Amino acid sequence: MADGRGPTDPCDAQPDEYEIALAAHRIEERTTMKVGRIQSRWAGLRTFAPDRHPVVGFDQQAEGFFWLAGQGGYGLQTSPAMAQIAESLIAATPWPLEAATAAQLSPGRFLGQAA
C-alpha cells in the first residue's frame, strides 16, 4: 500500500499532487513568495524497523557497511542525535545518549547479535 498505512514495494517514490499544491499554498500564505511553476519535486521513503526503532551501526554480515535507517519519517527531528550516535560508533567517541544503548539500535539486534 502506498498510502502510508503499510509496506510498499520498492519504487521511485513520487509526492502526492495534493501535498505539492498544499505546500505551495502554505508558502504563499505565510510568506511574500509567489509559487509559479514547480520545476522539481521529490518524495522520500520512510523506513521502519520491525520494532519501530532506528537502526544504527555496522552490519555484521557486510564488512564496512554502516546502517543509518529506520527513522520512520522523523529524520529531520532525529538527525542531530543520529549524527552523534553514528560518530560515536564510527569514531569510537563517547556514547551520546542515556535513553538507548548501542545494542538497542544495532542492526544485529534482529539476528540476536546486538553490537
Query: Does residue 27 contact residue 35 with C-beta atoms inside 8 Å?
Result: yes
| Alpha carbon distance 7, 46 (integer Å) | 10
Q: What percent of the chain has pLDDT over 90?
A: 59
Please list, in sequence order, all residues whose beta carbon lies within 8 angstroms of the beta carbon of residue 25, skipping any fewer than 6 positions away: none
Model confidence pLDDT, tens digit, residues 63-77? 999 999 998 888 888
| Alpha carbon distance 39, 101 (integer Å) | 43
Model confidence pLDDT, tens digit, residues 93-110? 999 999 999 999 999 998
Model confidence pLDDT, tens digit, residues 29-57? 999 999 998 888 877 778 889 999 999 99
Q: Name the burial class of residue 102, with classes exposed (0-12), middle (13-18) and buried (19+) by CB atoms within 10 angstroms of its CB.
A: middle
Q: What pTM was computed for the model?
A: 0.65
